[in-house]
Amino acid sequence: MTLFQYEVLATDTATSARRGSFTTAHGTIQTPLFMPVGTRATVKGVTTPQLADIGAQVLLANTYHLFLRPGSDVVRDAGGLHRFMNWERPILTDSGGFQIFSLADTLKLSDDGVKFRSIVDGTWHFWSPEDNMRVQEELGADIIMQLDQCPPYPAERDFVATAVRRSAEWAARCRDAASRPDQALFGIVQGGVFEDLRLESAERLALLDLPGYGIGGYSVGEPHDLMLESLGPVCQAMPANKPRYLMGVGNPTTMLQAIALGVDMFDCVLPTRTARLGTAFSSEGRLNMRNARHTRDFGPLDPDCSCQVCAEYSRAYIRHLVTTKEMLGSILLSVHNLHFLLDLTTKARAAIEEDRYGAFLSDWLSSAAAADY
């Protein structure tokens, strides 16, 4: 087993979709894939055995939040995230850069790094790229992300250009500081909605020959159509022999469109966040489980779904849980919504293998569900 080898197993002739595999220290993952987000080392309301049962291949955890609580040293002393979370499959940690830069009024930025205020107790901390690598090495994930500067939307071109330059320089420093051979460091393409800056970022990062590359700075408020316009050229500018990870995207329609452009990996809090708001994903579109029409509906959430929730519980029961604010309602909806996205990417992989992804995407876009996501 060669660590961090990405292999293209099949391609679709009608699109740029590709079916691949990527080898980590905790197993080989199959792409395209969706990765559930466990920000604080937990996917809210869902146990790791449940996540394994519904087919999750990789879980995410967030460096910023775990650095603050319980502390990366605590996770290290527990044996790393895999033991801490009871998860034997691969784990990815985001650098925490997005969280830091989303709190723009509480940070001080320079080429050396970023000084930020804790959301827990208000204390100040400083991270250089080297500091960030040390924290992620203590956490012990299989895939770690560089510290980058994530510009907001909208942002002036000069500001975004500086973020591109700084992120590329920080990526090189992260590469030089990373010392664990069992961790794959991914760079992160930035550039906002400026296609030429995106391409510049991709080209600069490709020179570092990292094991993989994230595409960051999308899903920060820009229209999805604007994102998709530049995403295709960016994917084509990225190394073909490395995985491409579109960060923070979990909308089913956007995911399938991005797969057609050449994206391999996705993550998002959307399926669990919407579950806590009482919303179910389905082949019919989004279902508001507070709606009175579900009161006497004793059928499954989605008749086309094979998850345990759909096999064992009715819409009427889940509506009862949601309207009475029983925590089980959020748990069951979270399991179902995660299964929905994991199953969708399983179907996407099969469609690419059979060279029918173009038709698969077309069928989805013409369905009632697509317009609802």
DSSP H or E stretch at residue 169: helix 157-177
- Output phi, psi for 18, to 5 deg: -140, 150
Q: Are 179 and 130 in contact (CB under 8 A)?
A: no
Cα(40)–Cα(272) distance, integer angstroms: 14
DSSP alpha helices (H): ranges in 30-90? 48-53, 63-68, 72-77, 81-85
Read out DSSP for 213-239? EEE-S-SSSS-HHHHHHHHHHHHHHS-
Cα(77)–Cα(89) distance, integer angstroms: 19
Q: Which amino acid is at 132?
A: N
Residue 267 is among the residues annotated as catalytic for this protein: yes
Residue 94 is among the residues annotated as catalytic for this protein: yes
The single residue of 12, 142, 264, 267 carrying the catalytic annotation is 267
The single residue of 94, 142, 148, 264 carrying the catalytic annotation is 94
Find, among 328, 308, 313, 315, the residue nearest to 288 by Cα.
315
Q: Calculate the CA 281 to chain-centre distance.
A: 18
What are 252's two structure tokens? Answer: 């089913």
What are 175's two structure tokens? Answer: 């590469």
- Look up tokens 């797969």; give the residue: 259
- Look up tokens 């990417």; give the residue: 345
What are 42's two structure tokens? Answer: 């937990």
Point out the residues that are catalytic.
Answer: 94, 267
